[in-house]
């Protein structure tokens, strides 16, 4: 049965964790949003993939933010209660660390489940959906990506296209103007319509214009050539593979579990490690949150940040070492977790000893 005091402590931890998560998530996602919008403006990411890419990135950010926010939330909430002497009074009445862990676990369980879902499955799922949209748009013919009533620069940056309208199937354009600038002359072509034509032998894609006129010459000079044509083809794209290779972070959980590749095994261990850090940091936060009477209210926040940064950097270094085969897979991330588990036990033993001696006095 959960007591009133434990519900009160759990609510304080939950409120602090939620506020910290919102602040950190907003800061980190603002940077991510700028990077994604830059890719969209440069043409590296199609606008249709903006939302899936942002969702995939936000889920990965959230899985890391939740572990830090929960850790800081517990340290900040309990630190405030220590500073206001609420926990001092409770401990004087026999409220020990065993009872103090109960409200922490109440908040830890949902945070752990959300982090595990984001890290193991949801993040990769959203990134894979974004990849499918990007590959689909990259595989589309260039004529299908043109905008009506605007000047469109071709991928090879050799042609500029303008069209008045486009058919419903997006295969035929009407009232077309095409310009091309070479070293020796400028070329302008006008046509009533243009249509895709695929060379079955080579796989190259042409824009077939018909009927129309072609103007060749140099600006400022009068020796222009005007050619009438019934049909004329402009090379748009050469045959090439449009499907990009899937990255290891985009692979589904099922793919990496049953894979024998080292990079897949490391990715699986990394995804398991993220929610596991939430548990270890949660147990570490209880003894770390203690604030002596003369310490400031935010005295342990800096220490908590330093602990998290060291923890995350050690995990990152371990992941790099595993991918480079500098560490055996059986050791993986457990040596890092063991350090902080031992640190938790040492701090907890010290605090329990101080609490016991203080109660005896």
Report DSSP state, residue 243. Answer: P
Per residue in 135-156, pLDDT (tens digit) is 666 555 556 667 777 887 776 6
CA distance 320 to 151: 46
The answer to whether residue 297 scores a pLDDT higher than 70 is no
The pLDDT score that the predictor gives to residue 359 is: 47
Higher pLDDT: 92 or 203? It is: 92
The pLDDT score that the predictor gives to residue 239 is: 56
Q: Count the Cβ atoms, other than its own, within 10 Å of residue 293.
A: 8
Residue 7: pLDDT band (50, 70, 90) is: confident
Highest mean pLDDT among 26-35, 150-159, 238-247: 26-35
Q: Count the Cβ atoms, other than its own, within 10 Å of residue 222.
A: 6
Q: Are 176 and 193 in contact (CB under 8 A)?
A: yes
pTM check: above 0.85: no
Q: Are 113 and 49 in contact (CB under 8 A)?
A: no
CA neighbor of 55 nearest in space, from 127, 134, 133, 113: 127
The answer to whether residue 258 scores a pLDDT higher than 90 is no
The pLDDT score that the predictor gives to residue 33 is: 81
Query: Across all residues in the chain, what is the average pLDDT?
Result: 81
CA neighbor of 123 nearest in space, from 29, 222, 205, 53: 53
The pLDDT score that the predictor gives to residue 202 is: 67
Which residue in the block uniquely carries the two structure tokens 């147990």? Answer: 283
The answer to whether residue 323 scores a pLDDT higher than 80 is yes
Residue 14: pLDDT band (50, 70, 90) is: very high
Q: Are 205 and 171 in contact (CB under 8 A)?
A: no
Tokens of 354: 């101080």
Per residue in 176-213, pLDDT (tens digit) is 888 887 777 788 888 888 887 766 666 667 778 888 88
């Amino acid at each position: 049965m959960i007591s009133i005091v434990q519900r009160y402590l759990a609510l304080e931890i939950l409120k602090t964790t939620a506020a910290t998560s919102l602040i950190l998530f907003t800061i980190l996602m603002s940077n991510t949003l700028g990077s994604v919008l830059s890719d969209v403006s440069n043409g590296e990411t199609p606008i249709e993939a903006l939302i899936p890419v942002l969702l995939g990135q936000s889920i990965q950010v959230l899985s890391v933010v939740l572990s830090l926010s929960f850790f800081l939330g517990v340290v900040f909430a309990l630190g405030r209660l220590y500073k206001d002497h609420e926990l001092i009074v409770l401990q004087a009445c026999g409220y020990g660390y065993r009872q103090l862990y109960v409200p922490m676990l109440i908040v830890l369980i949902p945070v752990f489940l959300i982090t595990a879902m984001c890290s193991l499955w949801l993040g990769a799922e959203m990134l894979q959906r974004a990849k499918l949209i990007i590959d689909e748009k990259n595989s589309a013919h260039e004529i299908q990506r043109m905008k009506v009533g605007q000047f469109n620069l071709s991928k090879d940056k050799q042609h500029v296209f303008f069209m008045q309208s486009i058919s419903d199937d997006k295969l035929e354009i009407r009232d077309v103007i095409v310009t091309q600038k070479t070293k020796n002359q400028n070329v302008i072509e006008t046509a009533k319509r243009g249509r895709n034509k695929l060379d079955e032998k080579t796989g190259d894609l042409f824009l077939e214009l018909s009927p129309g006129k072609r103007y060749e010459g140099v600006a400022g000079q009068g020796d222009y050539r005007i050619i009438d044509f019934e049909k004329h083809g402009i090379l748009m794209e050469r045959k090439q593979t449009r499907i990009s290779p899937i990255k290891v972070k985009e692979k589904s959980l099922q793919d990496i579990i049953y894979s024998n590749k080292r990079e897949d095994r490391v990715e699986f261990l990394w995804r398991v490690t993220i929610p596991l850090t939430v548990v270890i940091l949660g147990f570490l936060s209880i003894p770390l949150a203690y604030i002596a009477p003369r310490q400031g209210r935010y005295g342990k926040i800096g220490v908590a940040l330093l602990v998290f940064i060291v923890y995350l950097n050690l995990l990152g270094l371990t992941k790099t070492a595993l991918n480079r085969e500098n560490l055996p897979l059986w050791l993986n991330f457990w040596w890092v977790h063991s350090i902080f588990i031992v640190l938790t036990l040492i701090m907890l033993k010290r605090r329990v000893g101080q609490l016991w001696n203080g109660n005896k006095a």
